[in-house]
Amino acid sequence: MNIKFPYGEGHLEAELPSDTVVLRSADAQAIEDLEKKLIHLLDFQESGRILRSKRILILIPDNTRAFPTNVILPILLEHIEKMNPEAEVKILIATGLHRPVSRDEIRELVGNDISKSYEILNHSASDEDQLTRLNKKTSFGTPIEVNRLIFESDFVIGLGLIEPHLFAGYSGGRKIILPGVAGRNAIFNNHGFKMIANPWARAGILERNPIHRDMVEFMQETRLDLIVNVTLNKKRKITGLFIGDPIKAHLDGVKHLDKFAKIPFKEEADIVLTTNGGYPLDRDIYQTIKGMDTAASVVRSGGVIIIASECRDGLGGHEDFLKLVKGSNNPDEIVERIRKCEPIYDQWHAQILARILKKAKVILVSELVSERLAKDLLLEYSRTLEDALELAYTFLDEKEPRIIAIPEGPYIIPVKRNL
């Protein structure tokens, strides 16, 4: 069978055996008349607060996320302007610990008109002048430090995409605050070694997930008045709008997503072929850990993961991620480095990479990443899916290995069941 795998803004194709198991999200219908529904929900939820607020802050995801900022943000801004033309509106990019979004990237992210008409700022988790600190911690020991604009605004709106997340359970909701606009000490604690190592800190899990619970506590000690969250289908069309209370609306979105994203499978595979979901999530090798982690949930111990990821930005500015892995001889050595030296930037993805590599070999398929960089990250390397498959066969004893294909990568949640 021929299967297309998202890769950058296009796709790669592979001819696979007819008994290959393909895990795909269920079809989800795109919303018709999106603008009308969005405005209706805004009016229903918080029209009074918008009308009374002099200073409104809108938090948006950065350009590593597939959130349709250039679709949702113009509708939201136009609605605010009509309701409260005197309001001072600022837009803060929730970068967490990612690099700042450049001016050119901002224009691509929000559109040229908005980039010219509004004050758009990058959050910097290490900039003391940007932060406000409270003399408080969550029950998980996370210090309450957040961008000062959160407390200087009368009304805070967070935009976000609800999708599976490799250790927070799901993205969206509270995540726009922590890590989005939190201080680096808060992010380090929330993403710390013990938190990542917790068996409940996995994709598709909220209950008993310490990272999720910590994010919620942190949000409640800071401020998030309203969320505008969406779900997307495999064509990146908006399938759900969830507007309102940051906890309730987010949970409503999660329940909606689960209907389409939780996909059952019966037996782990010897070889798993997957992606990082295509652009923009596959723009760097750091983010590509997400697709690897999804594949790791369906590969047998000692199996092989093949992941196609364009990585047009290479490391994407995550040099510390490379430093943690480079020169190590095995995954245990990576874990020990983190344990001894934390907190370190990007240690969470290095820790998850080590967990994946303890279970399976990983072959990266990319035309833009060098073989040297892949080897430095303890990855095997191929430039095509066909070559990667041939390489995978050499690592296995099976003449007819079981194969699972996950074209959408981290956008689904495989669930093992007796089918």
pLDDT in tens, 282-307: 999 999 999 999 999 999 999 999 99
Confidence class for position 22, pLDDT limits 50, 70, 90: very high
The pLDDT of residue 330: 96
Same domain, yes or no, for 170 and 301? no
Same domain, yes or no, for 337 and 200? no
Rounded to whole angstroms, the Cα distance separating 313 from 85 reads 39
Residue, of 27 and 123, whose pLDDT is higher: 123
Same domain, yes or no, for 97 and 216? yes
The pLDDT > 70 percentage for the chain reads: 99
The pLDDT of residue 58: 98
Nearest to 263 by CA among 305, 234, 301, 306: 234
Lowest mean pLDDT among 19-23, 40-44, 109-113, 135-139: 40-44
Same domain, yes or no, for 302 and 216? no
Same domain, yes or no, for 168 and 276? no
* Boundary residue ending a domain (213, 232, 251): 232
Whether 388 is covered by a domain: the verdict is yes
Alpha helix positions (H), 84-221: 103-110, 112-117, 149-152, 184-190, 193-197, 210-221
Whether 86 is covered by a domain: the verdict is yes
**CA dihedral for 303, 309, 314, 316, sign (positive or negative):** negative
Residue 344, token pair as written in the block: 């370190």
Provide the CA 351 distance to its chain's centre, in angstroms: 16
Rounded to whole angstroms, the Cα distance separating 240 from 30 reads 8
Across the range 54-70, mean pLDDT stands at 94
CATH number of the domain to which 217 belongs: 3.40.50.11440
List pLDDT tens digits, range 188-220. 999 999 999 999 999 999 999 999 999 999 999
The pLDDT of residue 45: 67
Same domain, yes or no, for 120 and 215? yes
Across the range 50-73, mean pLDDT stands at 93
Same domain, yes or no, for 273 and 404? yes
Rounded to whole angstroms, the Cα distance separating 285 from 281 reads 10
Across the range 235-259, mean pLDDT stands at 96
Same domain, yes or no, for 61 and 201? yes
List pLDDT tens digits, range 358-417. 999 999 999 999 999 999 999 999 999 999 999 999 999 877 899 999 999 999 999 998
The pLDDT of residue 399: 79
Catalytic residue set: 98, 165
Domain boundaries, position 151: 34-232
The pLDDT of residue 44: 74
Number of domains in the chain: 2
List pLDDT tens digits, range 28-38. 999 999 999 99
Across the range 216-236, mean pLDDT stands at 95
Whether 243 is covered by a domain: the verdict is no
Whether 254 is covered by a domain: the verdict is no
CATH number of the domain to which 12 belongs: 3.90.226.30
List pLDDT tens digits, range 141-158. 999 999 999 999 999 999
Same domain, yes or no, for 290 and 211? no
SS3 (DSSP) at 64: coil
pLDDT higher than threshold 80 for residue 111: yes
Same domain, yes or no, for 320 and 194? no
Same domain, yes or no, for 220 and 326? no
Same domain, yes or no, for 120 and 8? no
pLDDT higher than threshold 60 for residue 243: yes
Across the range 105-118, mean pLDDT stands at 94
Across the range 298-318, mean pLDDT stands at 96
The pLDDT > 90 percentage for the chain reads: 91
The pLDDT of residue 53: 93
170, 204 in Cβ contact below 8 A? yes
Residue, of 303 and 40, whose pLDDT is higher: 303
Whether 250 is covered by a domain: the verdict is no
The pLDDT of residue 47: 65
The residue length of the chain stands at 419
Whether 246 is covered by a domain: the verdict is no
Nearest to 255 by CA among 296, 292, 321, 207: 207
Whether 256 is covered by a domain: the verdict is no
Whether 257 is covered by a domain: the verdict is no
Provide the CA 125 distance to its chain's centre, in angstroms: 18
* Boundary residue ending a domain (232, 251, 271): 232
